[in-house]
Amino acid sequence: MDENRVTFVSKIGMVAAAAGSAIGLGNIWRFPSQTAGGGGAIFILVYIGCVLFFGIPLMTAEFIIGRSSRANTAGAFRKLAPGTPWIWVGRLGVLTGFVIMGFYMVVCGWTLDYIFQSLTGQLFSVKDYAANFVQLQENHLKQTLLTTIFIILTALFTLSGVKRGVEKSSKIFMPILFLLLIILGIRAVTLPGSSEGLAFLFKPEMKNVKSTVFLDAMGQAFFSLSIGMGCMTTYASYFRNDVNLTKTAVQVSVLDTLVAILAGVVIFPSAFALTANPDTIISDLVAGGPGLLFITIPQLFGQMSLSALWSTFFFVLLALAAITSTISLMEVTTIYLQEEYRISRKKATFFVCIGVFITGTISSFSPEFFNLLDYASAKLMLPIGGFFISLFVGWYLDKRMIMAHITNKGTIKYGRAFLKGYIFILRYVAPIAILAIFLYGLLS
Ligand code: PHE
């Protein structure tokens, strides 16, 4: 093992860092808009199924690959399967991380703009929140600038050696964000007319559902849990040996799912309560696309006293949740360049930033490009990565090694039965489910 690789300090810090990667704009921005498009409650049910059937097992699989190899995600496959094409799964992951940054950073930029707009009170002087968001989307230069600022902020963390900073900030800010979402959720569901929003979220209705619901939910699960691209592999390469990988995967996935559902409980009841046209609300939600969070949340704050204060607080926390995710994304590509091409961390970070600046700028100017990167990463690249990661751990890796890692050296009773069940999921259940959903989604 390379002694120069810094490890996370505390156990709770490791859960916090992995949760920090998972919890981000994916939960609070992307989950609600996918839920709207996917038809509400049925989407959420499929989503939870995906988290249980392959989300948690795959996260554990990535943890095993990372901690047993202690290398970047491509290097990990080379170490564990020397001289085989498996390394391409790692390389695909690095590319996927790069693709995600190309649109994710733009949304991060939006959060910065909303912090400024809240601070200056501008957000609440315009009454038309939708027009306000469109205005931002049409101001390409401003978006490019904000995106660039966020890339640089992320790079500063990446350069200062990630672990300590991420560990600390995730431990403090994630719980605060969680609390704030609970408060906002309570406010939202007590608005008159909000109950239909809750029904949309929790009462399954076939009439809202589209045939792409499976692929949408699966893509969202991969995206939100940060799996399928080696992000969790990379973080696990810094894990200490005494961390219980299965337990960590369960904790991170449960937290991540809770935050997503909470975000839904804030957004949908607000959207239904505050809409001007209740008859067209569902189609409006779908048409609103990526703007949902940035339109509905300010609308909700507009209903509260001290709106600017709440709003600033919310968008600052959102930006913090976003940066713990972008740090994990940038880490994947940076440590890959650093270790595989033997260049300094500085140089590696610099190259990644230039690359993301280019794709981020194109995304700032073209919503089509933005959507293409979103679609390609969540619905194509992550599931393909996840499919192969599942096969790799299920079929290729040595069972005794997996056993030592997932049972935390025998602390789990019935270790053998547990291992058998786990391997069965990775060999058959997860890959077949992923493949079926993938093909069904693409062909329907
Ligand atoms: N999971 C993060 C979110 O929900 C996004 C992400 C995807 C981060 C993949 C790392 C890897 O915001």
How does pLDDT run across 28-86, given as a tens digit for each residue? 999 999 999 888 999 999 999 999 999 999 999 999 999 999 999 999 999 999 999 99
Judged on CB neighbours under 10 Å (0-12, 13-18, 19+), 214 is: buried
Q: Given this model, what pLDDT does residue 3 score? A: 45
Q: Which two tokens stand for residue 188?
A: 């939202």
Residue 323 Cβ inside 6 Å of ligand 1? The answer reads no
State the pTM of this model. 0.95
Ligand 1 atom nearest the C-alpha of 325 is 8
Q: Minimal CA–CA distance to 155: which of 354, 8, 363, 377?
A: 354
Residue 27 Cβ inside 6 Å of ligand 1? The answer reads yes
**C-alpha distances in Å from residue 150, one per residue of 145, 155, 182, 334, 360:** 9, 9, 27, 16, 10
Candidate of 328, 335, 389 to mutate for ligand 1, largest count of ligand atoms within 8 Å of Cβ: 328
Ligand 1 atom nearest the C-alpha of 231 is 11
Ligand 1 atom nearest the C-alpha of 31 is 4
How close is the Cα of 24 to the center of ligand 1, in Å?
6
Q: Given this model, what pLDDT does residue 406 score? A: 83
Query: Which residue do the tokens 């998972």 mark?
Result: 22
Q: Given this model, what pLDDT does residue 161 score? A: 66
Q: Given this model, what pLDDT does residue 1 score? A: 42
Low-confidence ranges of the chain (pLDDT < 50): 1, 3
CA distance 169 to 20: 9
Residue 100 Cβ inside 6 Å of ligand 1? The answer reads yes
CA distance 347 to 95: 18
- Three-state secondary structure readout of the chain: CCCCCCCCCCHHHHHHHHHHHHCCHHHHHHHHHHHHHHCCHHHHHHHHHHHHHHHHHHHHHHHHHHHHHCCCHHHHHHHHCCCCCCHHHHHHHHHHHHHHHHHHHHHHHHHHHHHHHHHHCHHHHCCCHHHHHHHHHHCHHHHHHHHHHHHHHHHHHHHCCHHHHHHHHHHHHHHHHHHHHHHHHHHHHCCCCCHHHHHHHHCCCHHHCCCCHHHHHHHHHHHHHCCCCCHHHHHHCCCCCCCCHHHHHHHHHHHHHHHHHHHHHHHHHHHHHHCCCHHHHHHHHHHHHHHHHHHHHHHHHHCCCCHHHHHHHHHHHHHHHHHHHHHHHHHHHHHHHHHHCCCCHHHHHHHHHHHHHHHHHHHHHCHHHHHHHHHHHHHHHHHHHHHHHHHHHHHHCCHHHHHHHHCCCCCCCCHHHHHHHHHHHHHHHHHHHHHHHHHHHHHC
Candidate of 30, 229, 231 to mutate for ligand 1, largest count of ligand atoms within 8 Å of Cβ: 231
How close is the Cα of 123 to the center of ligand 1, in Å?
27
Domains, the chain, in order of start with CATH, read 11-443 (1.10.4160)
Residue 257 Cβ inside 6 Å of ligand 1? The answer reads no
Ligand 1 atom nearest the C-alpha of 326 is 8
Residue 99 Cβ inside 6 Å of ligand 1? The answer reads no
How close is the Cα of 225 to the center of ligand 1, in Å?
6
Q: Given this model, what pLDDT does residue 280 score? A: 82
Q: Given this model, what pLDDT does residue 86 score? A: 98
Phi/psi for 238 (5° steps) reads -105, 0
Residue 24 Cβ inside 6 Å of ligand 1? The answer reads yes
How much is the ipTM here?
Answer: 0.98
Q: Given this model, what pLDDT does residue 408 score? A: 63
Residue 296 Cβ inside 6 Å of ligand 1? The answer reads no
Nearest C-alpha to atom 10 of ligand 1 is from which residue?
226
Residue 170 Cβ inside 6 Å of ligand 1? The answer reads no
CA distance 233 to 21: 12
Q: Given this model, what pLDDT does residue 64 score? A: 96
